[in-house]
Structure 1
Amino acid sequence: MSKITKFLAAATLAITPAAFGGAAQADSINWDMANEYNDTSIHAEGDKVFSETLSKLTDGGITITHHFGGSIGFKSKDQLDAVGDGALPIADTYVGPLGGIDPMFLLPSLPFLAKTPADARKLFNAARDEYDAIFAANNQKLLWASPWPPSGIWANKPVDSLDALAGLKIRTYDANGTITLQEAGGAPIQLSWADVVPQLSTGGIEAVLTSAEGGTNAKFWEQLSHFTEVNYAMPLNMVHINLDVWNDLSDDQKAAVTEAAKAAEDYVWAAVEKRVSENYATMTENGLTVVTGVDSGYLDALNEAGAKARAEWLEKTGAKGQAILDAYMK
Structure 2
Amino acid sequence: MRLLSIVAGGLLLLHAPVPACAQTVWDMATEYPQSAMPGLAMTAFAEHVAALTGGKVVVRPSFDATAGIRSADMLAAIAQGRVQAGDAFAGSLGAEDAIFALPSLPFLVTSIMDAHRLADLARPYIAAALHKRGQRLLYLTPWPPSGIWSKRLLRTAADLAGLSIRTYDKVSREVFARAGAKASSISFAEMMPLLTNGSINAVLSSGDGDIGRTLSKYLPYFTEITYSLPMSVASVNQAAFDRLTPELREAVDSAGRLTETESWVTLSSRLQQNYQRMRERGVTIDPAPAPALIAALHEGAAAARQEWCVRSGPACENILGAFKAGKP
TM-score normalised per structure 1? 0.89
For residues 167 and 318 of structure 1, what CA distance do their matches in structure 2 show? Answer: 36
Aligned position for 2:302: 307
Aligned position for 2:120: 125
Q: Could you list the runs of 5+ residues in structure 1 that have no partner in the other structure?
A: 1-24
For residues 277 and 312 of structure 2, what CA distance do their matches in structure 1 show? Answer: 40
For residues 325 and 262 of structure 1, what CA distance do their matches in structure 2 show? Answer: 24
Q: Say whether the 8 Å CA contact 2:136–2:235 is kept in structure 1.
A: yes
1:237 aligns with 2:232: yes
Aligned position for 2:135: 140
For residues 107 and 197 of structure 1, what CA distance do their matches in structure 2 show? Answer: 26
Q: Provide, for residues 244-273 of structure 1, a one-character-per-residue CA deviation record: whole Å limited to 9, x for no partner.
A: 001101011011101111111011111111
Displacement after TM superposition at 1:160 (Å): 4.0
For residues 322 and 107 of structure 1, what CA distance do their matches in structure 2 show? Answer: 12
1:70-81 map, 5 Å: 70-81=65-76
> Which amino acid in the other structure matches residue 79 of structure 2?
G
Q: CA RMSD in A?
A: 1.4
> Which amino acid in the other structure matches residue 149 of structure 2?
W
Instruction: Tell me the secondary structure at the aligned position of residue 313 of structure 2.
Output: helix
Aligned position for 2:170: 175
Aligned position for 2:29: 34
> Which amino acid in the other structure matches residue 38 of structure 2?
H
Aligned position for 2:53: 58
Q: Say whether the 8 Å CA contact 2:103–2:231 is kept in structure 1.
A: yes
Aligned position for 1:166: 161
Displacement after TM superposition at 1:218 (Å): 4.7
Q: Say whether the 8 Å CA contact 1:212–1:280 is kept in structure 2.
A: no
> Which amino acid in the other structure matches residue 62 of structure 2?
H
Cα 1:318–1:71, aligned 2, differ >3 Å: closer, same or farther? same
1:247-266 map, 5 Å: 247-266=242-261
> Which amino acid in the other structure matches residue 155 of structure 1?
S
Displacement after TM superposition at 1:150 (Å): 0.5
Displacement after TM superposition at 1:30 (Å): 1.4
Displacement after TM superposition at 1:217 (Å): 4.5
Q: Could you list the runs of 5+ residues in structure 2 that have no partner in the other structure?
A: 1-19
Q: Which range moves more in the overlay, 143-152 or 286-295?
A: 286-295
1:221 aligns with 2:216: yes
Q: Say whether the 8 Å CA contact 1:216–1:279 is kept in structure 2.
A: no
Using the aligned pairs only, state the percent identity.
33
Displacement after TM superposition at 1:68 (Å): 0.3
> Which amino acid in the other structure matches residue 76 of structure 1?
S
Cα 1:63–1:215, aligned 2, differ >3 Å: closer, same or farther? closer
Larger radius of gyration: 2
Instruction: Tell me the secondary structure at the aligned position of residue 234 of structure 1.
Output: coil
Q: Say whether the 8 Å CA contact 1:212–1:227 is kept in structure 2.
A: no
For residues 61 and 157 of structure 2, what CA distance do their matches in structure 1 show? Answer: 41
Aligned position for 2:78: 83
1:198 aligns with 2:193: yes
Picking from 179, 183, 187, the partner of 1:188 is 183
Aligned position for 1:280: 275
Q: Say whether the 8 Å CA contact 1:171–1:208 is kept in structure 2.
A: yes
